[in-house]
Structure formats: C-alpha cells, structure tokens
C-alpha cells in the first residue's frame, strides 16, 4: 500500500499547523488508495543542522538524523502542511528538509499552506527546494487564509471549498507516488 506522510511543518508554540494537519489526515484517512500518517517535526527534536557531511553523501552520524531519515525513507509521498513566515518557509521545516537527501528522492509532494495570502509564497519556495531533492511537486494546492479560514487567526474553520481542493491534491500525490514507485525500486 502506498504510504503518504502528512508533515506538520511548524514547531512554533500555539501553531495552527497541527489543526490543519489533523483536518488533512481526517479527510485523507477516509480514502482507500493509500495509507496516511501524521509526521510531526516536534517528535524528531532536530537541532539546527549538525551533520558534518552534506546530506547528499548519506553519511549521517547523529541519532536524530538517522531517526528522521528512517521515517522519511519509509514513506512514498508527502503532503507538507506549512505556514508562511516572512514570505517564505518556516526555518524548522527548511532545517528538517536539509538534514537528509536520498530519502526524499523520487517521491511526490503536495502542499497545504496557510498565511495572510494563503501561504503561497512559502509553497513557491518549497517547489524550488523539491526540484533539487528530486521530489515531484504536484499542481494541486490548498491555500488557507488566516483571515477567512481561521477565527481570530487561531481557530481553524476552513471554507467548504477547501475539501474539494484537498481531494484534488491528494489524488495527485497518490497518483504520482504510485507512478514513481519503479524509480524508487531501482
């Protein structure tokens, strides 16, 4: 069965990403075409990148890196739930991405973002990063507004239209994850 990780891309106290990721997981778990699991960056306690060698070498020395690499390697694709911080990717998410390399290769990724303009600028940066990691980013994206999809900027109340958009994103992530399976096997 194809396994898709729903990555919570923020570690900030009081983060909105946890509620958004649980919403994604709830909808995704009703599907029968893949298995979906939440992957919370907080569970991996990754410090600022502390590996001596570039991730492309795969020579990981730290136990936290090895645990993170094992989790990402076990998945066939991803939905990254990300806020937009200062027109870009949260530092904790970028740091986690940079820890490893081969474990990301030949997998699909979709994005669910949130922010004052739907988190779209963070996703644009993530699309470039995905290309470098040999991740196939899908076109479908859920862009949630802090003004209309959150009450008081903190209580998640997504508009109904986002359920359909999420369905499209999940369809694409699952299809591309399956299509890339022969590349991962070689």
Dump pLDDT digits (tens) for 157-181.
999 999 999 999 999 999 999 999 9
- The CATH number for 3-185, chosen from 3.40.50.360, 2.170.150.70, 3.40.50.740, 1.10.150.20, is 3.40.50.360
Q: CB neighbours of 122 closer than 8 A, spacing ≥ 6?
A: 82, 83, 84, 85, 87, 88, 89, 90, 113, 115
Q: Which two tokens stand for residue 62?
A: 């730290």
pLDDT value at residue 186: 86
pTM, full prediction: 0.98
pLDDT value at residue 58: 97
- Residues 95 and 184: their CA atoms lie apart, in Å, by 24
For all residues of the chain together, what is the average pLDDT? 98
In this structure, are strands 150-151 and 155-156 parallel, antiparallel, or unpaired?
A: antiparallel
Q: CA 53 → CA 50, 57, 63, distances in Å?
A: 9, 7, 15
pLDDT tens string for the chain (186 positions)? 999 999 999 999 999 999 999 999 999 999 999 999 999 999 999 999 999 999 999 999 999 999 999 999 999 999 999 999 999 999 999 999 999 999 999 999 999 999 999 999 999 999 999 999 999 999 999 999 999 999 999 999 999 999 999 999 999 999 999 999 999 998
- pLDDT digits over 78-105, tens only? 999 999 999 999 999 999 999 999 999 9
């Amino acid at each position: 069965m194809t396994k898709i990780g729903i990555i919570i891309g923020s570690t900030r106290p009081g983060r909105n990403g946890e509620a958004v990721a649980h919403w994604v997981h709830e909808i995704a778990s009703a599907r029968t075409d893949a298995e979906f699991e939440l992957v919370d960056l907080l569970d991996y306690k990754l410090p600022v990148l502390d590996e001596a060698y570039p991730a492309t070498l795969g020579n990981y020395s730290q136990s936290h890196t090895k645990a993170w690499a094992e989790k990402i390697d076990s998945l066939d694709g991803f939905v990254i739930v990300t806020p937009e911080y200062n027109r870009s990717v949260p530092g904790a998410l970028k740091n986690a991405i940079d820890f490893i390399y081969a474990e990301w290769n030949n997998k699909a990724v979709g994005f669910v973002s949130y922010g004052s303009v739907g988190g779209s600028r963070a996703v644009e940066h993530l699309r470039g990063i995905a290309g470098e990691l040999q991740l196939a980013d899908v076109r479908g994206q859920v862009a949630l507004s802090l003004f209309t999809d959150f009450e008081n900027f903190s209580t998640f109340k997504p508009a109904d239209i986002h359920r359909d958009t999420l369905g499209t994103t999940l369809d694409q992530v699952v299809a591309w994850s399956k299509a890339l399976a022969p590349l991962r096997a070689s």
